[in-house]
A and B are shown apart, each in its own frame.
Chain A
Amino acid sequence: MEKYWLLLESYTFIWSNKNEIVLYDTLSGRGTYLKNNMDISRIVNQLTDISNLYVTEINETDLSNTNINKFIKSLQNRFLGDIYPQSMFPNRPLVLIPKSNINDDTDSIAINDNNAILGQELLKNLTSITIHLSENCTNNCDACLDSWKQMQWCVKSHNNFDIDVLSDTLEQLTRSNVLVIDYILCSDIFENKQLMNKYINTIEKYKLNSRLFFHWRSSLKISDEIYNNFPVILLIDEVNEGFIEEYNDYLHSKNVFNYHFRVNSEIEYLKTIEFINAVGTKNYKITPLYTGHNQSFFEKYVFWDKKDILRTKWTKKNIFSNQHLNYNHYGKLTIRSNGDVYTNLFTEPTGNIKYDQITTIIRKELLTPNTLWKRTRDNCTPCNECLYRYICPPISNYEISMNRMNLCTIKR
């Protein structure tokens, strides 16, 4: 009787329970869902047994089993696995399975107290920083105090960032790998030209990749020099007559890097799309805002279903990332104008930039258990039991705002 080697490809991930099997091919970025049963389960268990490394032996009897045969055909047709006859390949092949190994795994470091390893170039953990440079504002926008926690948005207080603290902060970042620093400025900063000039001069001095965010109502106050020297992102809380008028009269001729629209309802969303289509801009981003009363809007436009998840492209590295950290948050700091530094916008600040070195803050975030930077879907219910958890986007600020971890229709 002919025997075969059945194997899963080295670029395939597999997760299963007694009812279903989820396979994901990281070459083409496509997921597959299959129903599980007793026959298939036996084979899957053999394949996923760590000592077998994705390879198992099957014979003609196995192949004549309809369930197993169908399963193998599904693997072959989607290039998730293959079979090799032992008559031609007598020796067991090896699959170098996609199993991650992270040297500086901070969980094991915390357990072993082996802090020396973590000391290696902490600043390299930073990816982006949002600095609320000026929070003095006389506008009275809706949802002012909610938005900044869900997206990059201005927030009102009575503080402006201390110029010396700004210099010291940027000095610390000169040897980091931080990709971008986003500065958010409220409208009243334009009443204090001297401070505004100091901010701009300091930002320019350090030559770090920087972007400036302003509410659209400030757009007339922004000098041409700023428009020309920095990527300027305008924040639009509603596409209303005032904004459309300003766009037509002034903004369309300006070098605006990106329009960042905030929407909280289907009507707002459609109005925004209509405006975008009418003016033909491609430089925009639309971000939904959860208000506490618009869950149906989120369910329609934000929630994922099984198909959305399976057709989202992930590389092997992305999936490892989803297994170990939260890429929505990892490496990101938000610094308020009073110096408070947040690694999680929904908890107390992790430190204050006036008193704490950035490396101290990073270290604290990395070595404290279950902080947001490392909070994966393994750490929350009901996601921790979901087969799709590693091919689902990590927890974002929306989940925290809604106090619901699964923004999907898979498991309620």
Chain B
Amino acid sequence: MNKSIFFKNANENYYIYDANHKVIVNSHPILLDYFNSQHNKKTIEEDLLKVKYGITETQLIHYRKKYLFLKRNGFFKKDYPQKVILDSIDKDTIDYSLSNCNNLVFQVTSACNLNCTYCCYGDLYVNSPLMEDGKMMSFETAKKIIDYFLPIWNENYNNKYNNSVLIGFYGGEPLMNFIVIKKIITYLKSNILTVKNGFRFSMTTNGLLLDKYMDYIVENNIMLLISLDGDRENNSYRVTKNNKSSFDKVFKNIKILKEKYPVFYEGNVSFNSVLNNRSTPSDVYSFFLNELNKKTSLNTISKLDVKEENIDVFRGIYQSMNDSAPEVKENDNMYIRKFSFFLYHYLSNSYRSLHDLLRHPKDEVLPTGTCLPFMKRIFILTSGILLPCERIPIKDSSLGKISEDVSINIDLIHRRYNNYYKQLKQQCSKCYMYRFCTDCLFQFPFKDGKYECQHIYNKQDIESFFSYHLYTLENDIKLYNESNNIIH
């Protein structure tokens, strides 16, 4: 593996990406000849090169010097993933993450008043052993974890000055356990955070019970993410337990909210839609813009863990999405974000904070892009099991449990994660993407006692990856400036 990657894109332009400098340099293809000759320890026939590229002696000398200039300045060095990829983290790192965890998401209920065909907790998918259907979280369970975190949020170890603590409500349909939501908020508000800005609340809801609880939601300034797939037809996989359309009721509730609380609606409400075979991006975007004066975030139906016997059903309703289609680009910034992500991770132009300009990080990475435990949030199941996030409800990802007390065993988490890292280091060492991986190990198939990555990038894969990005940016120069300015 080499730290420099040559690639050509569909516009016939040549580039070199160098991981050492995190820079993409424009190149003449002759530099690849020089590189290959050095790499294969073969003498280069420069006269042949002149003929091959139709260049003069002066030009040849220039390119030879340019190759040597780049080499002298750190290009074309060998990469040693085995040395760079760590196979362990220390316990203090996990402890630090725990001390700085400012986001709890409560699955207040696993019950739902809808029976969406594509629901990832529904019949279409292999069910997670941790997601128990129809359970309600008790206030006592929620109170225990809040009491566990209150002193942590207030102590000096918590580095996040004045930042709010974010409390999320998730389901099932969280409003089906409104009593506990209300008790949690009342309890939190009775506790003054000494070094923080207080609590902020968010909720993901299907909107069916919104009419009943909207006054309380507005009063407590809860950020709402409402799931709605578009108009009646687009939304027709979101059905009630009696297999009736949920559209009319949800749409009516949203309209009431919009009219009764216009400022709240403007600032606190966002939408999430699932693309399916009964919708197109244009339909969905137009519906939201015309009917609700909003944009929505479009997603596709999850491909993970579909039951073998339901593959045909899945294929029937699944609709792929082209994020570069004009209507998607216009309505959703995910396309810009994709390039922003590319520029952020692959070039040394973007930094999270001013202080990052002063640091010289070690050339070390952990296997995969898995979040460190507690780094982003804690997702608390109705049963009291603590998970790193709502997307990975599997046993091996558990970070602890609430029973009599909150039990978080840092030693156990530390051992478990280091075990995963040791397993995955071997796989990551073969991957050209190892420095920039964003995959979560818990999303990998578990085979023979190991998580197995399905996306190991070989040389051709990484060349294609770079080619695609540079080709797209070449054809849309504005995109570079837009992507390079985005906040992550």
* Residues on A facing B (Cβ under 8 Å): 7, 9-11, 27-28, 50-53, 76, 79, 82, 84, 88-96, 98-106, 115-116, 118-125, 127, 171-172, 174-177, 316-317, 320-321, 324-325, 327, 330-331, 357, 359-360, 362-363, 366, 374
Closest approach, in angstroms, between the C-beta of B234 and any C-beta of chain A? Answer: 34
Asked, given contacts A125-B355, A175-B99, whether A51 binds B477 with beta carbons under 8 Å apart, the answer is yes
Query: B433-477 interface mask toward A, CB cutoff 8 Å, 1 = contact, 0 = none?
Result: 000000000000000000000000000000000000010011001
Are the C-beta atoms of B11 and A10 separated by less than 8 Å? no
Asked, given contacts A53-B480, A96-B480, whether A7 binds B11 with beta carbons under 8 Å apart, the answer is no
Query: B66-78 interface mask toward A, CB cutoff 8 Å, 1 = contact, 0 = none?
Result: 1001101110000
A-B contacts, 14 of them at CB < 8 A, read: A9-B25, A27-B74, A53-B477, A84-B28, A89-B12, A92-B11, A93-B474, A101-B485, A102-B350, A121-B159, A124-B159, A124-B353, A316-B21, A359-B161
Are the C-beta atoms of A175 and B157 separated by less than 8 Å? yes
Are the C-beta atoms of B474 and A331 separated by less than 8 Å? no
Asked, given contacts A10-B23, A11-B21, A27-B73, whether A119 binds B351 with beta carbons under 8 Å apart, the answer is no
The CA of A89 and the CA of B25, in the complex, are separated in Å by 15
The CA of A138 and the CA of B349, in the complex, are separated in Å by 52
Asked, given contacts A11-B23, A317-B348, A331-B358, whether A88 binds B54 with beta carbons under 8 Å apart, the answer is yes
Total count of chain B residues near the partner, CB < 8 A: 58
Are the C-beta atoms of A10 and B358 separated by less than 8 Å? no
A-B interface, 3 closest residue pairs, ranked by CB to CB distance from nearest: A119-B163, A91-B11, A359-B161
Q: Which residues of B contact A359 (CB under 8 A)?
A: 159, 161-162, 195
Are the C-beta atoms of B73 and A357 separated by less than 8 Å? no
The CA of A52 and the CA of B474, in the complex, are separated in Å by 11
From A317, A366, A374, residue with most partner B Cβ within 10 Å: A317
Query: B86-101 interface mask toward A, CB cutoff 8 Å, 1 = contact, 0 = none?
Result: 0000000000100110
Q: Which residues of A contact B28 (CB under 8 A)?
A: 82, 84
Query: Smallest CB-CB separation from B65: which chain A residue?
Result: A79
Are the C-beta atoms of A101 and B349 separated by less than 8 Å? yes
The CA of A330 and the CA of B26, in the complex, are separated in Å by 35
Q: Which residues of B contact A7 (CB under 8 A)?
A: 26
Cβ of B156 within 8 Å of any chain A Cβ, yes or no, is: yes
The CA of A362 and the CA of B355, in the complex, are separated in Å by 12
Query: Smallest CB-CB separation from B486: which chain A residue?
Result: A101
User: What's the A-B contact tally at a CB cutoff of 8 Å?
Assistant: 171
From A76, A94, A331, contact of B473 by CB (8 A) = A94
* Residues on B facing A (Cβ under 8 Å): 11-13, 21, 23-26, 28, 53-54, 62, 65-66, 69-70, 72-74, 96, 99-100, 156-157, 159-164, 195, 197, 343-344, 347-355, 357-359, 470, 473-474, 477-478, 480-481, 484-488
Closest approach, in angstroms, between the C-beta of B52 and any C-beta of chain A? Answer: 11
Closest approach, in angstroms, between the C-beta of A162 and any C-beta of chain B? Answer: 18
Are the C-beta atoms of B349 and A96 separated by less than 8 Å? yes
Are the C-beta atoms of A325 and B350 separated by less than 8 Å? no
Are the C-beta atoms of B480 and A94 separated by less than 8 Å? yes
Q: Which residues of A contact B12 (CB under 8 A)?
A: 89-91
Closest approach, in angstroms, between the C-beta of A319 and any C-beta of chain B? Answer: 10
Q: Which residues of A contact B355 (CB under 8 A)?
A: 124-125, 127, 330-331
Are the C-beta atoms of B25 and A363 separated by less than 8 Å? no
Closest approach, in angstroms, between the C-beta of B488 and any C-beta of chain A? Answer: 6
Are the C-beta atoms of A105 and B354 separated by less than 8 Å? yes
Closest approach, in angstroms, between the C-beta of A148 and any C-beta of chain B? Answer: 23
The CA of A11 and the CA of B349, in the complex, are separated in Å by 11
